[in-house]
Chains A and B, each alone.
Chain A
Amino acid sequence: MLDSNAVNSAISQSYKHGFVTAIPSDTIPTGLDEGVIRLISAKKREPEFMLAWRLAAYRHWQGMTEPRWSSVRYPTIDYQNISYYSSPLTNNPDSIDLKDVDPKLLATYEKLGIPLSERLSLAGVAVDAVFDSVSVATTHKKKLAKLGIVFCSMSEAVREHSALVQRFLGSVVPPGDNFFAALNASVFSDGSFCYIPPGVRCPMELSTYFRINAAGTGQFERTLIIADKNSYVSYLEGCTAPQRDRHQLHAAVVELIAMEGAEIKYSTVQNWYPGDAEGNGGIYNFVTKRGECRGDRSRISWTQVETGSAITWKYPSVILRGEGSVGRFHSVALTNNHQQADTGTKMIHIGHNTRSTILSKGISAGFGHNAYRGLVKVLAGAQGARNHSQCDSLLLGNTCSAHTYPYIEVKNKTSKVEHEATTSRISEEQLFYCQQRGLSREQAVSLIVNGFCQEVLRELPMEFSVEARKLLEVNLEGSVG
């Protein structure tokens, strides 16, 4: 057993992305009413349909109450004490051209290790970067446009591709879906939009980096990805935030739509500021992510590595509507110090012969609280549906906790649903064994944790899996005595 005193006394997680960038920004006063929504819409020069959509969502939200069913605990959020729009002032606010962007902002992305310009091309990644509320750069646009691929900020999509937006926005996560989704629909600031035309295999990873910079702001980005018939796209999402002693709310919505024979891979490496060792500050990450396998034989997979945030509360889900469609969920969630995570997935089997796999790896250290919550639902019409779920928890020390809440609802007798769960603890014997071979205790923990997560990390594109391993290491620093 690990000596819990040694574990506790040594916990000192350092967050490497906690810098603040001093950039003049256009931040609107705190508070939320219809006026604020009109202001956001006007600042973004949105067409009429968008404003109407937002206002309808807002009226819906006003009648809703904040959900309390999760296992996470946090003080009441004052929604009137948040600023709903913050934009870094650029020389030309309409432009997303790199040379018009404040060099300090670009320097910020450099610090984050985001290869925004040339390094990007080399890496073969197209990046959209969202800084506070506004999307600041979308690279590789031209190359993608040649293939008919649209990859731009949500704001631009609303203006330039309004037919696509009108057709698909809210079709997977309706504006009134849940409290946070409704709030997002009312005030969403920016995010990424992506459309892959029929038969096109997107030749590079598409990627968005989210960064919350301004204090006292919330971030409400909205991402919409549509893979048309027989197309393919792999999409990566990364996020960081400065170190602040107040909690900040992040309530994003991601919608994925896969048409017949299409495949979407969505990977997240989430490293929002987790708060300090005493649990002060940190991001509340309350996110709604859902994909729909709308066409036959379509596939959607979610892969997530959640190392940051004070609280993570999200369930990337797949609606398996198309016949023979496949949904996959691979997750690593790490909680250290006072972090809390309540995460998992929902697999909703509607079509015949739909298949889903769930692989969840939870790691708790310090006073971390980690819960897997998952729903596998097989509707009456889902002949021959299959699900396999595996949920493993790894504990470091004696003050953290792990819980598994699997919900299974099966309405079709020809379906087959399997669930397995394990809980293990890193033992003193294991650490000593590694030390005797020359590893420090920290290297030993990192080796064992990496081994525990490798099936999930393998799912990530190469560069991201390297980054994810590093993050796990950094976030476990000092978790053993």
Chain B
Amino acid sequence: MNILEIQNLQVSVMNKPILRGLDLRLGEGEIHAIMGPNGSGKSTLANILVGRGDYQITAGTIRYQGEDLIVRSPEERAMAGVFLAFQNPVEIPGVSNARLLKEAFNAHRRYGHLPEMDAMTFRTHLQERAKHLGLSDDWLLRPINVGFSGGEKKRNELLQMLVLEPNLAILDEIDSGLDIDALTDVANGINALRNNLRSMLLITHYPRLLEQVHPDKVHVLIGGRIVMTGGMDLAGRLEEQGYGWLSEVAA
């Protein structure tokens, strides 16, 4: 079964069309990569999936686990298991990572009719996952993204993913600005969460991460449409040749 089905999605920002008839099917347990030049609409797609305002959906449908996703509020989508690792995560002074994650985690539990996890158990849950990413306990008490380097912000997004264990994770350029070690940590984090029910969309510019994650499919998004779909070989070709050879297909 497909966890996500997007058909003929058309999206505008301030009356400027950005996505122009996008189709995508993502099966349960699959990882798909989305590549494409800057400004092609990758982040727009990610934002639309998590219900961000400021966008007008002018046509098309999005079904998540077989149901209409567009009608749901952002927090309902989150609690139903849709997670976005933001391309540029925002700073929230005064609120620690641990605090947000505890609130978020328990919101998910309540949504799933599960009892809230007590503070002690949650702490252990959190620390285990932080360790996985090489993050110290101090880290957990730091205010969200405040003064973090680009790479630290990315790790922090991944930590949140490991804690919230989504069904559908969209990672928007999680590998941008990471050195090789950090990239391996991120790849390990992704692989740790991989199972036959959880699906992911990896938005990226580079095959480096994909080589460690082995996506099931690679899509190329140009001009608001998926213009080509292939496997790892496609990612490699894009790195060597860029997107120019595809512009005919896109036109």
Interface residue A407 (Cβ < 8 Å from any Cβ of B)? no
* A437 x B94 contact (CB < 8 A): no
Q: Select from chain A the residue with minimum beta-carbon distance to B83.
A: A436
Given contacts A433-B86, A447-B99, A451-B99, contact A439 B92 (CB under 8 A): no
Interface residue B11 (Cβ < 8 Å from any Cβ of A)? no
* B75 x A435 contact (CB < 8 A): yes
Q: Select from chain A the residue with minimum beta-carbon distance to B107.
A: A438
The residue that B104 contacts in the complex, of A428, A439, A451, with Cβ under 8 A, is A439
Contacts of B204 in A (CB 8 A): none
* A437 x B99 contact (CB < 8 A): no
Most chain B C-beta atoms within 10 Å of own C-beta, residue among A432, A438, A452 = A438
* A443 x B107 contact (CB < 8 A): yes
Interface residue A427 (Cβ < 8 Å from any Cβ of B)? yes
Q: Which chain B residues (75-92) contact chain A, with CB distance < 8 Å?
A: 75, 78-79, 83-84, 86, 89-90, 92
Given contacts A429-B90, A447-B99, A454-B94, contact A439 B107 (CB under 8 A): yes
Q: Select from chain B the residue with minimum beta-carbon distance to A449.
A: B94
Most chain B C-beta atoms within 10 Å of own C-beta, residue among A424, A437, A439 = A437
A447 to B102, CA, bound (A): 11
Tally of chain B residues near chain A (CB < 8 A):
31
Contact with B along A310-344 (1 / 0, CB 8 A): 00000000000000000000000000000000000
Q: Which chain B residues (131-145) contact chain A, with CB distance < 8 Å?
A: 143-144
* A437 x B92 contact (CB < 8 A): no
* B92 x A430 contact (CB < 8 A): yes
* B100 x A447 contact (CB < 8 A): yes
Interface residue A380 (Cβ < 8 Å from any Cβ of B)? no
Interface residue B237 (Cβ < 8 Å from any Cβ of A)? no
Interface residue B103 (Cβ < 8 Å from any Cβ of A)? yes
Interface residue B95 (Cβ < 8 Å from any Cβ of A)? yes
Given contacts A439-B75, A439-B107, contact A434 B94 (CB under 8 A): no
Contact with A along B101-118 (1 / 0, CB 8 A): 101100110010000000
The residue that A451 contacts in the complex, of B50, B90, B93, B108, with Cβ under 8 A, is B93
- How far apart are B229's CB and chain A's nearest CB, in angstroms? 27
A123 to B144, CA, bound (A): 35
- How far apart are A428's CB and chain B's nearest CB, in angstroms? 8
* A433 x B92 contact (CB < 8 A): yes
The residue that B78 contacts in the complex, of A424, A429, A438, A448, with Cβ under 8 A, is A438
* A451 x B95 contact (CB < 8 A): yes
A432 to B47, CA, bound (A): 10
Interface residue B52 (Cβ < 8 Å from any Cβ of A)? yes
Interface residue B74 (Cβ < 8 Å from any Cβ of A)? yes
What is the interface of chain B mostly: helix, strand, loop, or mixed? mixed
Interface residue A70 (Cβ < 8 Å from any Cβ of B)? no
Given contacts A443-B107, A447-B103, A451-B143, contact A436 B94 (CB under 8 A): no
Q: Select from chain A the residue with minimum beta-carbon distance to B108.
A: A438
Interface residue A414 (Cβ < 8 Å from any Cβ of B)? no
Tally of chain A residues near chain B (CB < 8 A):
22
Q: Which chain B residues (120-138) contact chain A, with CB distance < 8 Å?
A: none
Contacts of A432 in B (CB 8 A): 52-53, 74
- How far apart are A434's CB and chain B's nearest CB, in angstroms? 7
- How far apart are A448's CB and chain B's nearest CB, in angstroms? 6
Contacts of B75 in A (CB 8 A): 435-436, 438-441
Interface residue B158 (Cβ < 8 Å from any Cβ of A)? no
* A424 x B99 contact (CB < 8 A): no
Contact with A along B52-88 (1 / 0, CB 8 A): 1100000000000000000001110011000110100
Given contacts A435-B78, A438-B79, contact A451 B164 (CB under 8 A): no
* B95 x A437 contact (CB < 8 A): no
Contacts of B73 in A (CB 8 A): 435
- How far apart are A440's CB and chain B's nearest CB, in angstroms? 5
* A452 x B94 contact (CB < 8 A): yes
- How far apart are B157's CB and chain A's nearest CB, in angstroms? 10
* B94 x A448 contact (CB < 8 A): yes
A62 to B73, CA, bound (A): 61
Given contacts A438-B104, A439-B104, A447-B103, contact A427 B78 (CB under 8 A): no
A454 to B104, CA, bound (A): 19
A448 to B94, CA, bound (A): 7
Enumerate chain A interface residues (CB-CB to B < 8 A).
424, 427-430, 432-441, 443, 447-448, 450-452, 454
**22 A-B pairs with C-beta separation under 8 A:** A428-B53, A429-B90, A430-B90, A432-B53, A433-B89, A434-B100, A435-B51, A436-B74, A436-B84, A437-B104, A437-B160, A438-B104, A438-B107, A439-B100, A439-B103, A447-B95, A447-B100, A450-B95, A451-B92, A451-B94, A451-B143, A452-B93
Would you list the 4 A-B pairs with minimal beta carbon distance, nearest first? Answer: A451-B94, A451-B95, A437-B104, A438-B107
